[in-house]
Structure 1
Amino acid sequence: MRRIGWLFFTMAILLLITAGCSNDQQKAQDRFDKYVAMWNKEDFKGMYGYLSKDAKKTISEKEFVNRYKNIYDAIEADKLKVKASKIEDLEIKDHKAVLPFEVNMNSVAGEISFKENAAVVQEKQGDAENWYINWKPNMIFKGLKQGEQVRVATQSAVRGEIMDRSGKYLAQNGEAIQVGVVPQQFSKGGEQAIQQLSKTLALSEKSINQALNASWVKENQFVPIKTVSQKDASNLENSLKKVEGIQQKKVNARVYPCEEACAHLVGYVAPVTAEYLKEHKDEGYNAQSKAGMIGLESLYEDKLRARDGVTIYTVDKDGNKKNEIAKVNPKDGESIQVTVDTNVQKSLYEQLKDEKGVATALQPKTGEILGLVSTPAFDPNSFSFGIDANTYQSLSTNPDKPLMNRFTKTYSPGSTFKLVTGALAVDEGVLNPNESISISGKKWQKDKSWGNFYVTRVGSKPNVNLRDAYVTSDNIYFAQTALKLGLDKFNSGLKQFGFNQKLPVNYPFETSKIAGDQDIKDEGVLANSGYGQGKLQVNPLHLALMYTSIVNDGNIVKPILMNGDKSGIWKKQVISKETAQLIQNDLVGVIEDKNGTGHAAKVDGLTLAGKTGTAELKKAQGEKGQENGWFVAVDTKQKNLLVSMMVEGVEDKGGSHYVVPKVKNVFQQYNK
C-alpha cells in the first residue's frame, strides 16, 4: 500500500510541474503574440514596454521608437506583416525561451522577408512578473548588429526619350541651366538686385525672397532661383551679368526642343502630387518621383518611365558596408518614336500661334498623324524645370485657356461636313449630282410647319447642282439633301463614317457625336445637320480622317501615331469608289474655281481638294454669336498631306476665309 501511495504522490507532483510549465509556455507565447500585434500596428512605443530590463539598458524608449520609425520611413515600408510561429512544446530553461517569428514587408527596394528568433525572459518589472522580449537589432532586420545603421542608396535610371518620324527629339534627356545666387555677394545689391533679377527671370520678388530665406541657406552657398533652357540662358546672359552674385550651373533636365509647338501633343514630366501617389499606389512612385502629366509623356508613362535601382544595406560605425538587405536593379525606360513630323508640327503652330485654334495633319494614304496642334500653348520646359506659382496662375486663369488641349475636343464642323451629306446622298441614290435644283432667294423652309425657322445661304444662284453647292457652299442645297436622305439613312450613314465611336488610336480624343448620345429625331435638326450645324460635334482629327475617303476609293484609313505601326483601313467603303472620285473632283473645284470659297488656297503645281466651313455658335436664329472658321484640304495628286484647321472667333475676320491662307501656307512650306 505504501508503494502505491508513493506512486500517486509522485504522479501528482509531476502533473503539477507539467501544468506549471504548460502555463508558462502559454504565457510566454501570449505575451510575444501581443508584442507582435503591436509591431504589426507599428506601435513602437507600446512595443518598448515589452522589452526586458537588459534590452532597455541598450536603448532608450525615444531611440527605440525613432529607430524603427526612421528606418521604416526611409525604406518606405508598407504592408508590414509580422507572424509569430506557434511552438507545440516550448522549451523554457532558467526562465528563458526562444520564440521564432517571420517578417514580411514591401519596401522601396521590393519585398523584404526574413525569419529570426526572439529571446524572451521571465522577470519582474515593477510589481508584477511577466515575460519580456530581450530585444536585439536583428529583430529589425536579420543580421543587423548593435552599432550598425541601415542605409538606402539609389542608382539612377534614365527615362525613355520621344522622337519624331525622322529621329528629331520631342522629349530629350538633356541639360538646363540653373540660375542662382550666392547671398553674401548678391545681398550687396539690396532691393535693386532682387528687382533686377525678378525682371530678368520673369519671377516674382516674393519667390526670390522665399528661396533666399529658406532654413538651409548659408551666406556663401549657392541658392538655386530658377532653371531655364540653355537657349534662354544665352539670351539672358547680358542681363544676368549686371547683377552681382549670380551664378549658373548645368543640371540634368527633361528638355522639350519643340517647345510651345508640341506642348499639348508631347506633354511634360513634373514632380508627382499627393493625389498622383494615391492613384498610383504600389507602382513604385515616391514623393521625389517625376512622371508624365499630360500628352505622350503621360500616355506612355509605363513604357518611358525610368525605374531607379535601390539598395537597402547596413553599415558599421565607420561607414563600411556590411550586409545587403534588399536590392532592385535600375531599369531604363524605353524610347518611343511617333509618326509626327516636327516640321509640319511647327508649320501648323506658326499659322495658329496668335489664335485660339486647332490643326491636324495626316498622311492621307497611310493614316500617319503628322501634326496635332492646339493654341494658345505654353512652354512645357517651364513645367519640367519647375514652374513658379505666378506663371502657373497666369496660365490657369487665362481666358484663352492655353492649358486646354483643343485637338482632343469636339466642335461644330460647319460646312466642312457637307462632304458627308453629299457623298451619302449620291451613294444612296437620292441625289443626282448633275441635276440642278431650283432654289429661290437666300432663305428657305420646307413648309409652314417650320414657323419662323429658315435655312439661309450666302449666294443666290437659282439653279444649283452638287458641284455648284460645294463650290459656293450652299446651305439650302445640303439641308434639302439631308431631308431627301431621311432620318434613318442619315443617322446610319454618319455611324458608317465613325460617329459615336472611339477613334482607334491611343490618345484621349473625344468621340464625335451626331446629336449627343442619340440619333437625330427631328426634321429641323436633320436639315441643319445636313450643312454641318444642328447638334453635330466632330473631333478635328476625325474630320481629317473622313476626308481621307476621297483619296482612298471610299475607305477611311486607320489613324497611326506610333512609328512602325501597320497601316490599315478603319472604315471600309463608307462610300463607293465612284462617289469618292466624284466628291474629290467637286472639292478640287472649291479651290480651282475662281468663285470657290477655298480659291485662296490655290497653289501652283498642286491639285488640292478642300472645303471651307463657318460654324455658328449662336443660340437662336437671328442672333449674332461666335463663329469658328474651318478649312480642310488634301493634296489629291501626291496624296502626301491632308490638313484640317479651325480658328475660333472669326466672325469679325472674314469667317472661314480667314483660315484658308493659313492652310495654304502649310502646304507651300511642306512642298518647298
Structure 2
Amino acid sequence: MKRLALVFGCLLMSVMFLAGCSEEPSPEERFAAYTKLWNKQDFAKMYDYLSADTKKQVSADEFAERYKKIYKGIEADQVKVGYTKPKEEEAKEHKDDEKVKLAYTVDMNTLAGAVSSDHKATLVKEERDKEENWYIKWDESYIFPDLKAGEKISVESYPAIRGEIVDRNERGLAMNGMVSEIGIVPEKMGDKKATVKQVAGTLNMTTDEVEKKLNQLWVQPSYFVPIKQISSDETATLDKLLSIPGVSANSSEERIYPYKKATAHLIGYVGEASAEDLEKLKGKGYTANDVIGKRGLEQILEERLKGKPGGKIFIKTEEGEEKIIAEKPAEEGETITLTIDAELQKDIFKQYDNEAGSAAALDPNTGETLALVSSPSFDPNKYVLGITNAEQKALEDDPDKPLLNRFSSTFAPGSTIKALTAAIELKNGIDPKAALSIQGTKWAKSNWKDHSITRVSNPGVPIDMEKALIYSDNIYFAQQALKLGKDKFSKGLQDFGFDESLNFDYPIKASSIGKLDSEGRLADASYGQAQVQMSTLHLAMTYSAFLNEGNIMAPSLVTGDKTEKKPLKENIISADQATTITKMLTQVVEHPKGTAHDLNDIGVKLATKTGTAETKASKNSSGTENGWLVAMDTEDPELIMAWMMEDVKGRGGSHLVSDKMKPVLKKYLK
C-alpha cells in the first residue's frame, strides 16, 4: 500500500512539472529580464534578446558599442530602466498575441543634468530551436525616443568658471586672468638649433624639453606649437621671445596669483587632475581635463570654488538640425572672501626677506586672521604656467625648504610662553608682587644631577612677576612652575588650547605640551622649552585673552558666520588678571631694560613679549636659536602679531625679529 502511494505521488509531481513546463513564456517576464540586464549594462546578453530582424540590422558589437559610446559621451550615471510587470489578469490579454507593446522609462544623470524619457518596447513572438519565445524589436529610439538610425548624439560641454579668492578688501588672491602662451611655428624658425637654444634659455628650460614639444606626432611645419605660458606682466621676457625667429604668442585665460610668493602657502595653486586625483574624486563629476586645487585653500575649498559644469546633449539629424535632449547652464564657482589683509600679508613677507620663519596676525576684537605667512616661499604661478624640472628640483633641494609650510607647523615658543605661565600663576593664587630672591645667572635644585636653568641677564634681587617679564627671567618662571606642579601647569596650558585640535578653515597642527615627566622638563616648559610646541597662529590667539577680559577669540579665515565676534574659550583668566598681564607686557616695551624696548618709539602703546628658543639635535650638540616676538596695541586694539624667525643665534636673537616687525607695526598702526 505504501509503495502504491509513493508511485502515485511521483506521478502527480511529474504531471505538475510537465504542466509547468508547458506554460508559454510571457512577454512581460521576458522584457523584465531584458530590463534587468539593461540596468546592469550587460549589453552582450541584451543582444541575445533581440528579434531576428533587428539582428540583421545591427551586429552584437555594434549594438554594445552604440550604448557604451553614447553613455560615455553624455557621462551617463545612475542609469535606471523602469518597468513594472502588469498584473496577471492584464498579462493574460497578450496570451494569444504575436506582437506586444510594453511601456517603460529610462532615467539617468548626465553632464547636461537629469534626463528622463518614456518609451514603448515592441516584442514579437519567434520560434528558435523549435521553441517559441518573445524577442525585442529594437531600434535607436530605445536609447532616446527621438533618435533614429543614422543620426548621432552630440555633446557640447559648458565648462564652469572657477570661483575666485579675494581678501577682506576684495583684492585678488586667486584670480582668473590672461597669460601669454609662447609657441613656435616650425617653418618660420630659420636656424632651428639657434631658435631652440634661445627659447630654452629665456624660458629657463632645457633644449631637450623644447625639442620634445616640437617633435610631437601632431606637429606640422605651419602649426603653432605651444612651448610654455608666462605671466602677462613679464613684458621684458615676452619682448625678448618675440624677437626670436619663429616665436609668437597667444593670449589665454589661466589661474593667476597676484601676490605670488607672499600668499603661496596660504592660497596654494591649481593643476590638471591626475589619475590619482580622479580616483579620490570618483563620482564627483571630475574628468582628466579638469583643473583642481593642488595645495592650500585652492585644495581645501575645492568644492566651493570649482563650480558646476553644464552642457548640451542633442541629436544631430542628417539635415543638420539639432534636437535637444537636455541642456544645463554651467554654474560659476563661489567667490570666497577671506579675512586676510593682502597688503599686510605682503608687508610681513617682504620684511622676512627670505629668512626662514612664520608669522600670524589677528584682529583681537573679532579673531579674524589678517595674515598667515610662511617664508621662504615659491611662486605658485609657475605651477600653473608650467614649472620646469630644473625649477622644481631647485625648490626641493633648497636647504631653506621653501616648499615647507611653516605657519601650519609648530615650534618651541621660547619666552613668549611666559605671558601664559604668568597668567596660570595668577589664576592659581601666586601673588605677582611677591618677589623671589634669585642670585646669579644659573640655578638648579640640589637634587638635580645634570640639569640647570640659565638666564640671559641678572636683574638683581628681589624679582617679582613684572620684573621677570621685563627681563625675561627663566629662573623666576621655572621656580614658580615648580611651585604650581605638573598638574596645575598642564591644566593651565590646556585651558589656553594646548593638546587640542583647532577648529579653523586651514589645517594647523595642534600646539602640544609634551612630556612633563621630570622637574627639569616642567621647569623648562615654563619658559617655552622642553617639549612644548606652538604655532604662530595659536600663540597670537592666546594673547587675545589679555585684551578680551580673559576670553580667547575664535579665529576665522573665510568670511561668513564664523567671523562674528565670539569667544573660543571663555574666562581662561579673570578680567582683572588679563588687565594685570597686559600692563606688565607694556613694560616689556616701555621699561629701559625691557627686551622689546626698541619698539618704544613707534608712538603706539604696545604690549609685547620676546622669546628665543634653542633647537638642537641632542643635549651635547651645538644648536641654533629661533627668535620670537608677539606684539599688540592696547589702547584701541586692532592687531596682534606673532612672528618666529629661524636661526637667529649670533645675529641679534629676538632683536632681529623686532627690527623686522617694527616697520610693519608702524605702517599698520600709524
Per the normalisation by structure 2, the TM-score is 0.89
**Cα distance in structure 1, aligned partners of 2:611 and 2:635:** 23
Which letter maps to 1:559? P
Task: Give the Å deviation of 1:605.
Answer: 1.3
Q: Distance in 2 between matches of 1:222 and 1:376?
A: 37
Partner of 1:303: 304
Q: What is the match of residue 548 of structure 1?
A: 544
User: Residue in 2 aligned with 1:206?
Assistant: 208
Number of equivalenced pairs? 647
Tell me, yes or no, if the aligned pair for 2:187 and 2:222 is still in contact at 8 Å.
yes
In 2, Cα distance between equivalents of 1:209 and 1:115: 55
**Residues in 2 aligned to 1:646 and 1:49: alpha-carbon distance in whole angstroms:** 73
Residues 1:480 and 2:457 are matched in the alignment? no
Match of 1:338 in 2: 338
Q: How does 1:38-437 map to 2 (within 5 A)?
A: 38-87=37-86, 88-89=91-92, 91=94, 95-123=98-126, 131-186=134-189, 188-232=190-234, 234-324=235-325, 326-430=326-430, 432-437=431-436
In 2, the alpha carbon distance for the partners of 1:57 and 1:316 equals 23
Does 1:451 pair with 2:431? no
Instruction: Tell me if structure 2 keeps the 8 A contact 1:633–1:663.
Output: no
- Identity of aligned pairs, percent? 41
| Structure 1 residues 635 and 71: alpha-carbon distance in aligned structure 2, compared to 1, 3 A threshold | same
Superposed displacement of residue 19, structure 1: 7.9
Describe the shift of the 1:245–1:267 C-alpha distance in structure 2 as closer, same or farther (beyond 3 A): same
- Structure 1 residues 21 and 481: CA distance shift in structure 2, 3 A: closer
Q: CA deviation at 1:533?
A: 0.9
* Structure 2: runs of 5 or more not aligned: 1-17
Q: Tell me, in whole angstroms, the C-alpha distance in 2 between the residues paired with 1:550 and 1:55.
A: 83
Q: Residue deviations 1:550-595, cap 9 Å, x none?
A: 3333332222323462112223332233333332233223233343
Equivalence for 1:7: none
User: What is the CA distance between 1:495 and its match in structure 2?
Assistant: 1.9
Change over 3 Å in CA distance of 1:383–1:56 after alignment to 2: same
Describe the superposition over 1:314-357 as per-residue Cα deviations: whole angstroms up to 9, x where unpaired: 11123311141x33332222222222111100011112241221
| Preserved contact between residue 204 and residue 388 of structure 2 (Cα < 8 Å) | no
Partner of 2:668: 670
Is residue 271–residue 384 contact of structure 2 (8 Å, CA) maintained in 1? Answer: yes
- Per the alignment, residue 9 of structure 1 pairs with none
Q: Which amino acid aligns with 1:198?
A: A
Encode CA deviations 1:102-160: one digit per residue, 9 max, x unaligned. 43333223333334233334446799876543220012222211121111222344332
Q: What's the CA shift for 1:90? A: 6.6
Contact residue 85 and residue 99 of structure 1 kept, 8 A: no
Q: Deviations over 1:575-633 (max 9, x none)?
A: 23333333223322323334332233333312222122112222544432232221111
Partner amino acid, structure 2, of 1:252 = E
Which one-letter code corresponds to 2:506 in the other structure? Y
Q: Secondary structure at the match of 2:546?
A: helix
Match of 1:526 among 522, 538, 542: 522
Deviates more, 1:150-159 or 1:387-396: 387-396
Root-mean-square deviation (CA), in Å? 2.9
Check 1:196–1:22 CA distance in 2 against 1; reply closer, same or farther (3 A cut): farther
Is 1:642–2:640 an aligned residue pair?
yes
More divergent stretch after superposition (118-127 vs 525-534):
118-127
Q: Deviations over 1:494-516 (max 9, x none)?
A: 12212223334322122212227
Q: Cα distance, 1:423 vs. partner?
A: 2.1
CA distance in 2, matches of 1:638, 1:220: 67
- 1 CA distance for matches of 2:549 and 2:98? 92
CA contact (8 A) 2:312 2:324 kept: no
The alignment partner of 2:180 has SS state of strand
Q: Does 1:560 align with 2:556?
A: yes
Question: Which whole-Å CA distance do the structure 1 matches of 2:20 and 2:573 have between them?
Answer: 94
Aligned partners of 1:128 and 1:245: how far apart in 2?
74
Deviates more, 1:278-287 or 1:351-360: 278-287
Given that residues 110 and 328 in structure 1 are in contact (C-alpha distance below 8 angstroms), is that contact kept between their aligned partners in structure 2? Answer: yes
After TM superposition, give the deviation of residue 547 of structure 1 in Å: 1.6
Say if 1:299 and 1:21 are closer, same or farther in 2 by CA, change over 3 A: same
Range that drifts further, 291-300 or 534-543: 291-300
Cα 1:84–1:359 shift into 2, 3 Å: same
Sort the Cα spacing of 1:391 and 1:72 in 2 relative to 1 into closer, same or farther, 3 A: farther
- The residue identity in structure 1 corresponding to 2:220 is K
The CA deviation at 1:671 is: 4.1
Cα gap change, 1:385/1:142 in structure 2, threshold over 3 Å: closer, same or farther?
farther
Structure 1 residues 282-291 or 259-268, which shifts more?
282-291
CA distance in 1, matches of 2:96, 2:237: 79
Shift of 1:652: 4.3
What's the offset of the Cα at 1:409? Answer: 1.6
Amino acid at match of 1:178: E
Per-residue deviation, residues 256-286 of structure 1 (Å, max 9, x unmatched): 1111111121222322233333333333323
Note closer, same or farther for the CA distance 1:273–1:21 as it changes in structure 2 (3 Å cut).
same
Q: 1:391, CA displacement in angstroms?
A: 3.7
Q: 1: distance between equivalents of 2:375 and 2:128?
A: 74
Q: What residue identity is the alignment partner of 2:63? A: F
- TM superposition shift of 1:472: 2.2
The 1:51/1:386 distance shift into structure 2, 3 A limit, reads: farther
Q: Distance in 1 between matches of 2:92 and 2:131?
A: 25
Separation in 2 of the partners of 1:498 and 1:382?
Answer: 38
Measure, in 2, the Cα distance between the counterparts of 1:231 and 1:573: 51
Deviation digits for residues 302-321 of structure 1, max 9, x if unmatched? 33332122222211123311
Structure 2: distance between partners of 1:22 and 1:85: 25
Instruction: Indicate the residue corresponding to 1:600 in structure 2.
Output: 598
Distance 2:439 2:616 in 1: 25
Whole-Å Cα distance in 2 between the matches of residues 349 and 220 of structure 1?
Answer: 46
What is the match of residue 617 of structure 1? 615
- Structure 1 segments unaligned to the other structure (5+ residues): 1-17
Aligned-residue offset at 1:375: 1.5
Q: Which sits farther off after the overlay, 342-351 or 151-160?
A: 151-160
How far is the alpha carbon of 1:396 from its aligned partner? Answer: 4.3
